[in-house]
Structure 1
Amino acid sequence: MAPARTARRAAALGLGALWWWAVLRLALEPGAGVLEGAVAVGGWGLSVLPVHCVPRRSAAGALGAGRWRRALRAAVGPPGPATARGTRRSGEDAAAGPYGP
């Protein structure tokens, strides 16, 4: 094992033991104070950091930008001219609506 890896594991083990000591002391000792609370809250705060996130482009299986837009355009077709809201085009029945009876 490389020395850097050993040092990281030792630091993680030591800090984990310190955090568990603080949590157990808070739970079991009536005289636990601010120091134990700060260690416990600080360790919990570090655990919720998104340290395992990677940029979208370098993530495994990442999709390219605009993929959904291209798929929608391929399925629906290019956008046509817009009609004003509430107006009817020729051939549309007012009772049936624009999609038929």
Structure 2
Amino acid sequence: MVRRRVPLVTLMLVAAGLVAGGLWWWAVLRLLLVPGETGPVEGAVAAGGWGLSLLPVHVAASSGKRGATWGGVTRASRRRRWDAGSDPS
């Protein structure tokens, strides 16, 4: 069996993500279970986490050749040829 070491930075990022997720769940559950005792901090944490979940997937940075572009045009898109095609009239 091959053992691979995980870099410390990766472990720290995972730990930070788990802590942030835990804080978000704490704020959401507190807003749902005891809404009279919550303050603006819980509301801001819950709204901020919900707002981050609305970011589209294509906002994330790509790595490797999957995100390679040709002159600002991605491989998935094609330049439209306006002189080709049928005439609508």
Q: Distance in 1 between matches of 2:45 and 2:77?
A: 40
For structure 1, the residue ranges without an aligned partner over 5 or more in a row are: 83-101
Query: What letter is aligned with 2:80?
Result: G
SS of residue matched to 2:37: coil
SS of residue matched to 2:38: coil
Could you tell me the TM-score, scaled by structure 1's length? 0.57
Pairwise CA distance, 1:25: 0.5
Report which of the two has the higher share of strand: 2
For structure 2, the residue ranges without an aligned partner over 5 or more in a row are: 1-5, 60-66
Aligned to 1:65: 79
Q: Distance in 1 between matches of 2:11 and 2:20?
A: 14
Could you tell me the TM-score, scaled by structure 2's length? 0.64
Task: Say what the alpha-carbon RMSD is for the aligned residues.
Answer: 2.6
Aligned residues: 71
Identity %: 44
SS of residue matched to 2:58: coil
Paired residues for 1:11-90 under 5 Å: 11-29=16-34, 30-50=36-56, 52-53=57-58, 57-58=73-74, 62-66=76-80, 69=82, 73=85, 76=86
Moved over 2 A (4+): 54-59
Q: Distance in 2 between matches of 1:48 and 1:7?
A: 25
Q: What whole-Å deviation, never above 9, does each CA across 1:19-76 have from its counterpart, x for those lacking one?
A: 00000001111311111101100111111122x31678346xx031116x46x51xx2
Q: Compare CA radii of gyration and give the structure with the larger one.
A: 1
